[in-house]
Structure formats: C-alpha cells, structure tokens
Chains A and B, each alone.
Chain A
Amino acid sequence: MSSNKAIVSSFVEGAPPGELADVIADIKALTSSTPNLINELGPAFEKYNEEQFTTVKLPGGSQPVIISSHNSLGDGRYYDTESASSFAFDHATQKASGVQSHVLEGAQTDLVNSTLKSLGSYVKEHFPNAVYGVYPIEDDSRLAVIIVANKYSPNNFWNGRWRSLYIFDPASGALEGSIKVDVHYYEDGNVRLLTNKSVNASVSSGTGAGIAKEISAAEKKYQEELNRSFTSLSEGAFKALRRQLPVTRQKVEWDKVASYRLGQDIGGGAARR
C-alpha cells in the first residue's frame, strides 16, 4: 500500500503545467478499487503546489498570489506581501479562504517593498501573464524573489510554465537562483521541454531596483541562449539522427532497392538518376 502511495505521489508531482486535475482524474480511475488512496495524497499536493509556485486568487481579491515554501506560515497558511494578507490554502482543491491582514514588520520590509515595485515594472514589460512575490526569509536575513508565468491552451494541446526563484543576501549582495521552463505539447503524442538554469549574480547597490535589474538581465540572456539552443539542436543532434533526404536528394527507388548494394549507390549518389 505504501508503495502504491509513493507511485501515485510521483504522478502528482510529475503533472505538467495546468494538468494536475487531469492527472488526478486518471489516478482516480486507475485506483478505483482503493478509493482511499487519493485521500493520502495531501503531502504530494502540498509539494506540487509549493514547488510549482501554484497561484490562487484570494476571495474578494483581483490579483492571484503565489504558494511556495518561502511564504508559508505553517498549518496550511500562506501570506502575500503586496496585498498584506494571509490566507488558508487547501492543497487538494487549490482554493484559498480565511483571509486575514498580514502586515510585514521587520528589518527587510523597505527592501521587500522597493523590490516589489521594481520587479513589478519588469514583470509587466516582459510577461503577459505572470505573478511575482518578494518574501523575507531566514529570520529577515535574506529575500526570496519568485516569478511564475503560466499559459495554458488545452484546446490546442499545449501548456507552459516559466518559474524563477532567486535568493538575495543583503549582507553579501549575492543573488542566486534558478530559472525553469516546462512546456508540454500533447496532440497525438507527448512532447515535453524541461529546462533548468542556475543564476549567480551580485547586486552591488543592494537596492530593490538593483535586484530587479540583475534579474531582468539574467532572464533576457537566458531566453536568448535557450532560443539559440533550439536552433543548434535542430541543426546538430536532430540532423545527425535522420536526414530529410538521402545524400542523392532523391527518395528511395523501392523497385530497384535490391540492386542498390551491387551498384554501390549508398551514400555515393553519383551513379544513380
């Protein structure tokens, strides 16, 4: 039973962007003889939501907010700095409730607010649909900065997610983090792009504007690099696997294929018309 739980948990954690509900429906159909199994998935849902930076709209709120380990208050409650509120989050249904006021008070509050402001301008200019957050962590000694952008198009059989997480250390000015892209295409098939890029930068000014500027530069550079990698994979590894046409630039003459070897036509291409 425990191994079944581990299997089903791994399915939840591997759900592509925007497809968790579909994966859960499949799991239910596959485990209909043990319907209680689905009730044991709480930890898997929590892990999925916190790692994928699931976004949720607060009751009465207009802007979605982020779920992550960095803005967790424990006991299933999370907080959002921009709206200065905390809320309960149901990991299975992905619904928020019990909104309360949560005003930041601490050494990094000013830096959090100025980073939010600068980051907001950057995100607005480069992400058509993203949610971001800045949270003081580790007893106010560091800042966690999160950006998550989702675009779901299930009618066209594709979904995508961009996630970035940065930890800023005000003492050293170090900004460390990672950018992850996850794209799923599944029309008569199943194709997945998964990327992971670590970022190491430093913000000498130590200001919110400086943090946003470094993030902006790192993400621009990364996206350009990623775009180049599509071209180099297409021209390199992909081409090396299978040619579009033989060297002869002609399709195989199947009626004469038995004589190819004798005629030494393979790869040469000189003799055959």
Chain B
Amino acid sequence: MASVDPFDSALDLLRRLNPKHTADHLNNIITLNPSLAEDLLSSVDQPLTVRRCKQTGRDYLLCDYNRDGDSYRSPWSNQFDPPLYDGVGGAGGVGAGGASEGAGEGAVPGERVRKMEIKANEAFDVYRELYYEGGVSSVYFWNLDDGFAGVVLLKKASPSGDATSSGVWDSIHVFEASKRGRHTNYRLTSTVILSLATKGASLGEVDLSGNMTRQVEQNLLAENDESHIANIGRLVEDMELKMRNLLQEVYFGKAKDVVGDLRSIGTLSEGQRERDTQRELIGSMRR
C-alpha cells in the first residue's frame, strides 16, 4: 500500500470527528504527531477569539494572520498586544521593506497596504452592521510580491440570554490579489463555522455544529486602491450570501431529510400505497 501523507490523514480525520470540538481534536492530533503542528495550525480554521484593543477600546478578532509569537495586532490601532519586546511594529508598522515577505505570522503590511487595510476595516465594519447587526469584524492585509493578500473576519454570537437556543457564526475569508496585466486576479477561500444548539423538555438536546469551505476566483479591473476594496467587498458579500443559503440547506434541509430517511413519520405501507395509486393514475392518463 502506498504510504499516506499524515497531513492529509489529519485533515480527513478533522472532517469526520465532531466539528464542535475541532480545537480539541487538533491539539490531540498534534500531540500524536508534533511535526504536523505548523501546517495544521495554519490551515485548519477554528472559531475566532475576541480581544479588546487597549488603544481604541474597540473589539477585534484574533487569528494566525495578525499574530506574532504570543502577541496580536489590532486593526484599529495597528499596535501589538502585548507589545513586541524588540519594538518592531511599535509605532504603526515597520517600513515597507521589512515586513512584506512571508504572509502569515505577525506580518505587518507596508504603508500603502496598511492604508488599504484601514479603509477595508471601515468598509467591513459597515457591512457587519448591515448584515449582522452586531458582532465583531476585523480585516488584516499583508504584502505579496505581485500584489497583496488579506483576511476578512466576522463573528457573531446570538443572544446568550436566550436559554433555549443559541448560536455562533464565524466567517473567515482569506484572499490573494495578484496583478495579471490590466486585471487583478482575486482568489478567495471562505470558511463559515456555524454552531447552533437548542433544548427543551419535549425536545431534549439538539446540537447542530459544523463548518463549510468554498473557493472562488475572479479577474477584475481595479483602477485604484479603493476599487480593490470594493472588489473584495463584493466577492465576500456574494460568497457569504451563497454560503448562508448553503448552510441553511444543509443544516435544516439535509439534516431533516436524513432523519426522515432513517425513520418515516407516516407508515411505510401507506407511503407505498400512495405511490402505487399515483403510478396507476399516471399510467391511466397515458393510456
């Protein structure tokens, strides 16, 4: 038997085990196979953590893309918390040269990309209010050799005061924008992590949790930096609409259908009789 890549096996396992506890499963897999730690942590999406920016008092979201060691960069102040000990990024980012390589951990965008990042945060803050009517959003950008990349994060928890049902939504949209002649090539990978739970005396406990990932690629014109943000905004908005419909279909349609496939509320013989009658009817109409 050909040897299987343990990384693929880890991803397959995470696709099978209860998605409500992905973080625990991830830590367990890393304990079993520590060499997978870096690859797994950067490719497996987990529910986002909220932190309050010390400078602005606004909430922001934590992920691998605004992390440097144990510190996270606030999109509102551009400051790391806790501050980076060597002073890098201490006063609004390092120079354009230093931080552009290596998308990912702790990357601080160069001056132009940081300006776009500020605008994108403002734009998605509006988007968040319009669609989520609450919650937290954060956008992080970083430089690429032939363009830039970023992640748009949105998180909302439904009223925790509601005792019978609760929900948490996490959106993680990672994109790359690369120059292709006159056009810009946008590649977007979106994951939504959605957890719902409800309980009651006659219902017992119901937990519906999971995540879904979709990708899209488009070549668009971007005359200036503002139009980049508009393009990314439309891509994310369309993707979220598509994914919300998909989640609705899977969580409430598919799940219910499978339960109905396991057990039929009506009797099976009656269902069979109805199908037979219908077949006869159709047959007699054809005659």
Contact = CB atoms under 8 A, between A and B. Distances in A.
B282 interface: no
Interface string A153-168: 0000010111000000
B202 A237 contact: no
Contacts of A261: 126
Contacts of A222: 204
B275 interface: no
B208 interface: yes
Given A3-B31, A23-B13, A257-B233, A231 B131 contact: no
Given A189-B210, A190-B211, A237 B166 contact: yes
Interface stretch (B64-72, B180-188, B253-261): B253-261
Contacts of A243: 130-133
A223 B20 CA distance: 23
Contact of B203 (A126, A161, A225, A246): A225
A220 B233 CA distance: 47
A194 B240 contact: no
B112 interface: no
A150 B268 CA distance: 16
Contacts of B194: 238, 241
A209 to B, nearest CB: 17
Contacts, number: 269
Contact of B262 (A15, A32, A127, A266): A127
A195 interface: yes
Interface string B203-215: 1111111111110
A133 interface: no
B162 to A, nearest CB: 8
Interface string A167-187: 000000000000101011110
A271 interface: no
Interface string A16-39: 100100110111011110000000
Interface stretch (A4-12, A52-60, A70-78, A92-100): A4-12
Contact of B205 (A125, A196, A246): A196
A149 B204 contact: no
Interface stretch (B76-84, B93-101, B244-252): B244-252
B12 A26 contact: yes
B243 to A, nearest CB: 10
A221 B158 CA distance: 28
Contact of B204 (A32, A190, A197): A197
A241 B167 contact: yes
Interface in B15-33: 15-20, 22, 25, 28-29, 31-33
A189 B202 CA distance: 31
Contacts of A42: none
9 contacts: A8-B32, A26-B9, A29-B4, A158-B254, A161-B262, A162-B259, A198-B204, A234-B248, A241-B168
Given A181-B262, A237-B165, A238-B252, 14 more contacts: A4-B31, A26-B10, A128-B264, A149-B262, A151-B261, A186-B16, A190-B15, A192-B210, A194-B18, A240-B167, A243-B132, A254-B123, A258-B123, A266-B130
By Cβ-Cβ distance, the 4 closest A-B pairs, closest first, are A197-B204, A191-B210, A189-B212, A29-B9
